[in-house]
Structure 1
């Protein structure tokens, strides 16, 4: 099985932007040297726009093909450490948050061979040319790709989504010039100044978030494909990010992946299909990155509006995973875990005629895992109480009786 790395990275970038929107929304983060207020920025499409700007600056610098590919991946994933670091802003300074998300991002990616080349780049993407950055590197000690991401990131953070580009380009240009030899090297500033004279650059910055062609046309070609085992490792990265969003779901995705894999083996699925089921379990809640933590962690019943927001997470799971065209089955199984046999589930109100056995299994694993975990409003239930509740759900035709029996074969041994 071959899975496009390019499509996988773009899907990850969508997930990270959704996470960043909701991670930063209730915080007040101002970086000391740049004085940019992160909490005032709208992070819709931040990764895509940063990647586009970085690629265009790198083109001015005549970066070689291999470095350009590394830059493209790094710029799309540069803020991968944000979701595990954002809680620091409640009790620590902004500088602590900025440093920690660089460290966390590098640590998340470092164990995986496919990302070995970019973990250090992400670690150093908040360095300043004069040595006042997160890790204290200065001048040529800072990797060139990290320098490019730094200037692209700050250009994007300075850009206002709802203001036409022609009304803000002069301000951004002047601001970048004022930070020469402080945040940016002369080489970076001059490359940007040359680029900034092209109207087409600003038009693309304005539209890259909404027109996929712009990034696709300008990005380096990644003729790299993952096998299923490599993709499983990436899924493990994102399950850690998903589960770290709330202290009450620290092992949720991992637990569902374990159950789905065990049931799949018990049924007699092929080795490949068992792995796909495990991955579906790891990624089933990736859409929860779009849900504010204050709703996920609420210590009490959700309001009607809050539940409506919670329900969107499976929609976003489908949006993210459908970006990866090589995994349609995994996307389907992961996205259907809140559908019900009687057609009263969400988001598509599918009924039993439209729900595969695999989707039904992921659904019962999700319910069991949720019932047995501690939540803000209750302690986790014991196995027998959880199964008793699920038996009632099966009788009401909410969940599949056969899928529940397979679950019982595993957890009641």
Structure 2
């Protein structure tokens, strides 16, 4: 199965996951990409470098997505030495990816200062040009204030950038920025939320990048790693849910490519958890009503992000409806039983099974017999699909192999204690 996906469509959608917060979505990565693209136009960057630049700009803070403490460091214009940690983490996430490895070096160096005052000890033109552009674009975006009229901000922003020309920033890029920054339209585009779809259409001049289904699995693995780092208790949760989901899909007679689609849904099912602070995810006591309401937003964001990707409508539904219930009382969409498709029911059962199998701040992992008792009770209360649960526990040999494999994955993720 091939996915005819515009690369900017895929990357721009996934970049939204890096913008998630309890207050909704920011546009930092999108605005950084827009600024970087204007700089690239001004200096006449060739198409191949420009493609890397835009996609790297859209994902440049991927290494900080799992940690709220890391995210907070990124909002200071003059950042400290500890800002490089997330750039290194982003490089490690992407450098071995067949699909995104070309972005890794740019992301690794996107905070390197022109004067060489950075841990990598690169200076001037030793720093990749695409990294230098993103560094400038990123810092300009950090200076933008949503509640101040944009033209009132412009002089101070440009002054702050000029002061760091030759130390933080490439002087030639600062000069290029000042040349097009005279255009009012540039600043208005930055603050116009309706402009960004036009922007993505304009930069999508590279044609459709054809991904096969295994490419999508590989991309899902990257984001599963990011998602599961949000809590020390969920080191392999998304991969485990994907594994159990694929096991159940096979039990239902799905074909090989449909099984992979269910696996992809499992890998992405908790994408929206990047909107939840780490301290809530790891809280050992009972959540407050407000904290639980924050938890409830994660499948909503999973759906809204994934539905934007070409050909992902089914995957989005299977992934995001894992907290919907047979009785129609689940969240966040309150999907009635008749509309809750089998793929969603499979991911829901897999999610419950894996969660009960894992260590949690409030309890130990449960044995299979305890898990089955709890899940049979959930079936009786019309929370999860009874036929899918029966498939899970009827093949004891297969279930044993499955749990052993989950245990091996968890062990390899954390290593010996």
Provide TM-score, normalisation by structure 2.
0.89
2:294 is aligned to 309
Unaligned runs of 5+ in 1: 26-41
SS at match of 1:248: coil
SS at match of 2:100: helix
Asked if residue 45 in structure 1 is aligned to residue 27 in structure 2, the reply is yes
**Separation in 1, partners of 2:135, 2:104:** 15
Asked if residue 123 in structure 1 is aligned to residue 108 in structure 2, the reply is yes
Could you tell me how far 1:85 is from its partner in structure 2?
Answer: 5.9
2:131 is aligned to 146
1:67 is aligned to 49
Does the 8 Å CA contact 1:69/1:221 hold for their aligned counterparts? no
SS at match of 1:226: strand
SS at match of 1:187: helix
Asked if residue 78 in structure 1 is aligned to residue 66 in structure 2, the reply is no
2:409 is aligned to none
What do residues 273-331 of structure 1 show as CA deviations (whole Å, max 9, x unaligned)?
01001110000000101111121111111111111111110100001101103111111
Unaligned runs of 5+ in 2: 74-78, 402-417
**Separation in 2, partners of 1:216, 1:137:** 32
Does the 8 Å CA contact 1:3/1:226 hold for their aligned counterparts? yes
Does the 8 Å CA contact 2:321/2:348 hold for their aligned counterparts? yes
What do residues 323-379 of structure 1 show as CA deviations (whole Å, max 9, x unaligned)?
103111111100110111111111121122111111111111111111111111111
Q: In 2 relative to 1, CA 357–71 (structure 1 residues): closer, same or farther, beyond 3 Å?
A: same
**Separation in 2, partners of 1:76, 1:412:** 42
Among 17, 20, 31, the residue aligned to 2:19:
17
What pairs with 1:240-255 in structure 2 (closer than 5 Å)? 240-255=225-240
Asked if residue 289 in structure 1 is aligned to residue 274 in structure 2, the reply is yes
Asked if residue 6 in structure 1 is aligned to residue 16 in structure 2, the reply is no
Does the 8 Å CA contact 1:127/1:137 hold for their aligned counterparts? yes
Q: In 2 relative to 1, CA 169–130 (structure 1 residues): closer, same or farther, beyond 3 Å?
A: same
**Separation in 2, partners of 1:109, 1:345:** 35
1:213 is aligned to 197
What pairs with 1:198-277 in structure 2 (closer than 5 Å)? 198-207=183-192, 209-223=193-207, 224-277=209-262
Does the 8 Å CA contact 1:50/1:156 hold for their aligned counterparts? yes
Does the 8 Å CA contact 1:238/1:283 hold for their aligned counterparts? yes
Moved more, 82-91 or 322-331: 82-91
1:371 is aligned to 356
**Separation in 1, partners of 2:68, 2:384:** 36
Does the 8 Å CA contact 2:8/2:204 hold for their aligned counterparts? no
Could you tell me how far 1:266 is from its partner in structure 2?
Answer: 2.7
**Separation in 2, partners of 1:151, 1:172:** 12
Does the 8 Å CA contact 2:67/2:278 hold for their aligned counterparts? no
**Separation in 1, partners of 2:132, 2:299:** 37
1:38 is aligned to none
Q: How many residues align?
A: 390
Could you tell me how far 1:116 is from its partner in structure 2?
Answer: 2.1
Moved more, 188-197 or 126-135: 126-135
Does the 8 Å CA contact 2:99/2:219 hold for their aligned counterparts? no
